[in-house]
Amino acid sequence: MNEIRKATIIIGLFSLLAKISGLARDAILAHEFGTSTIIDAYAAAFRIPDFIFNLLILGTVSVAFIPIFSEVLSKDKEHAYRFASGILNVTLLAMAALSLLALLFIDPLLRLIAPGFGAETLQLTKSFTVMLLLSPIFHALSSVVSSILNAYRKFALMAAAPLLYNLGIIAGIVFFYPAFGAKGIAAGVILGAFLHLLIQVPQLFSLKFKYSLTIHLDKHFFDFWKLYWPRIFSMGTGQVTLLVATFFGSFLAPGSLSAFYYANNLQAVFLSIFAISAALAVFPTLSDLYNRRDDPGFKDVLAKTAIQVLFFMVPISVLMLVERAQIVRLIYGAGQGTNFDFEATRLVSLTLGLFVISLFAQGLTPLFMRAFYARHNSITPVLIGLVAVIVNVAATYFLVQRWGVPGMALAFSLSTILQLLMLVAELHRRIGHIHDNYLIVSSLKIGISSVIAGLVAYVGLYAIAPVVNMATYLGILIQAVGAGIIGSLTYLVMGWIMNLSEAKHLLTLFKAMAYKITRPIDIITQILE
C-alpha cells in the first residue's frame, strides 16, 4: 500500500497542477468570451477528435497494454519492446487514418452531432474541428508511451503531461488568438497535444527502450486485441454522454453548451486528483494480485482504495454543492471587463450543483472498472456501460425539455450513480464480499462527517457575509475560503471522532508538517536565549 500511496501522491500532485492550469485556461476563456457562441463552437469541436481518441485510445490501450507488457517484460525485455513498438506503430497508423476519414466526412458528422447550431456557429465549429483532428494523433502516441512508463512505475512525467497540454492551450488563447483570430485557440490545442507527448519521450529512452519500425504479430499482440476491443464499447459510454449533451445543447439558447462545458470542467477538477490518480496507481497492483491468484489481497487493496477515494470525494462534493455560486463567480467571473455575467454565474452554478451529486460515483467507477480489467474481464463493464448510456439518453431527453442545461447534468448524475451500483453488485456477485462491513461502516462515517461539515460551511457563509464587502471579488473570496476552511476542519475533526483511519493519518501528516516548519524557529529561539 505504501508504493500505491506514493504513486497516488505523485499522480495527484501533478493532477492538481494540471487542474489549476485547466482552471486558469477556462477562466481566461470565460473572461474573454463568457457563455457565447464561440465557446459553444469550441466545445462542440472537441467532440469528433475526442471521440476518436477517447473511444479508441484513452484508457483502452492502457488497460489492455499494461498487463500484457508487464508479463512479457518480466520474462524477456527485448520481446516486450518489440511488442510495445508494434502497438505504437499500429496506433499511429490507425489514428492517422481515422482522423483523415473524419476530415473527409466532417460536414455530415457536424450536422449529426450539432443539428441545432446556426450556420455561423456550425462553420466556426468546422474550422475548429479541422485543426483539432491533429490532436488525436499526438495524444494516441502519448498514451502508449504513458502506458510503458506506467508499467515501469514511472509516474512523474506521465502525470505532468496534462499540465503541458493546458499551458499550450493557454498560449493559444493569450498569444495566438490576438494574432490569428479564432483559429489561434485551436492552434494552442495542437501545441498542447504535441507537448503532452514530447515531455515523456526522454524518460522512455532513459529506460533504454528500443523502438523498432515493425509490427510483431505474435501471441501477445493478439492477446492485446482480445482485451482491447471490448474496452472500446466501455469507453464509448462516456463519449456518448458528451455527444448527447452536444446534440441537445445545440438546440438550446446560445451559450447553453458553454455553460455545460464550464460546469463539467469545474466538477472534474478534484476527480482527477483524488479518484483517477488512485485508479491509475492501483491498477498494476490489482493486475499483479490477480495474476498471483491472491484474492484476499485483491479485495483488501480494492476496499481500502475505495474508501480513500470516498474520504476525499464525498466532502469535496458537499462543500462544492454548498459554495457552488461563490466558486463559479471566483473562477469564471473574475477581472475587470469580464464577459461572464451574473446570469452565466447562475446557470453554471446550478448545473455544477447537479453534477457534483454524483462525484462519489464518478470517483469510484474508474476504480471498479479497473477491478474487472485486472481480472481480464472487459465484457461486464461494457454491458453495464451500455445500460448507463441508454438511461442517460432517455433521462436527458425528458429532463432537458424541463430544465435545459441543468437537466443534462442531472441526467448524467443519475446514469453515473446507476452505473456504479451495477458495477459493485456484479463484482460482488463474482468474487463475494469485498470487506463489506468495512466499506459500509467507513462510508457511513464519511457521509455523516461530510454532511455535518457542509452544514457548518453553510452557516459559515452567512456568518462571514455581513463582515465583508460581497460586492467585491475579495469579499467573495474571503467568504468562500473562510467557510471552506471551517467546513474542512469540521470534517477532519468529525472523522477523528468517528475513528476514521484516513482522518487520523491526515492529521498526523499535518502535525508532522507543522513540526518541520516550527522546528527551525524553535532552534533559533533557543540560540537567542
Q: What are 392-437's pLDDT values in tens digits?
A: 999 999 999 889 999 999 999 999 999 999 999 999 998 888 888 8
Return the percentage of the chain with pLDDT > 70, whole number. Answer: 91
Question: Per the structure block, which three cell numbers stand in for 358?
Answer: 454524483
Q: Is 35 left (phi over 0), alpha (psi -120 to 50) or beta?
A: beta
Burial of 205 (0-12, 13-18, 19+ CB in 10 A): exposed
Q: Given a cut of 80, is residue 11 above it in pLDDT?
A: no
Mean pLDDT over the full length of the chain: 86
pTM higher than 0.95:
no
Taking the C-alpha atoms of residue 397 and residue 332, their distance in angstroms, rounded to an integer, is 28
Higher pLDDT, 303 or 275: 303
Q: Given a cut of 80, is residue 239 above it in pLDDT?
A: no
**In 10 A of CB 403, how many CB atoms?**
16
- Structure confidence by residue, pLDDT tens digits, 14-58: 777 888 898 899 999 998 898 889 999 999 999 999 888 877 776
Q: Given a cut of 90, is residue 481 above it in pLDDT?
A: yes
pLDDT score of 2: 58
- Structure confidence by residue, pLDDT tens digits, 269-284: 888 777 877 887 788 7
What are φ and ψ of residue 293, in 5° steps?
Answer: 60, 35
pLDDT score of 186: 94
**In 10 A of CB 144, how many CB atoms?**
25
What are φ and ψ of residue 210, in 5° steps?
Answer: -110, 110
Q: What is the mean pLDDT of residues 200-216?
A: 84
Q: Alpha-carbon dihedral of residues 466, 471, 472, 473, nearest 10 degrees?
A: 90
Q: What is the mean pLDDT of residues 465-481?
A: 92
Task: Let me know: does 53 contact 136? Beta carbons within 8 Å.
Answer: yes
- Give 391's Cβ-side CA count (13 Å radius): 18
Give me the amino acid identity at 155: F
Q: Which residue is it, cell 485557440? A: 185
276 CA to centre of own chain: 6
pLDDT score of 215: 82
- Structure confidence by residue, pLDDT tens digits, 308-364: 999 999 999 999 999 999 999 999 987 666 788 888 889 999 999 999 999 999 999
Q: Given a cut of 50, is residue 528 above it in pLDDT?
A: no
**Nearest alpha-carbon partner for 322 in 460, 175, 494, 161:** 460
Q: Which residue is it, cell 474520504? A: 311
Q: What is the mean pLDDT of residues 257-278?
A: 85
What are the angstrom distances between the C-alpha of 66 and each of 77, 150, 277, 511?
A: 14, 8, 16, 38
pLDDT score of 516: 61
- Structure confidence by residue, pLDDT tens digits, 351-390: 999 999 999 999 999 899 889 988 888 788 888 988 998 9
Q: How confident is the model at residue 524 (pLDDT cuts 50, 70, 90)?
A: very low
pLDDT score of 226: 76
Q: Which of 245-249, 272-276, 450-454 is predicted most confidently?
A: 450-454
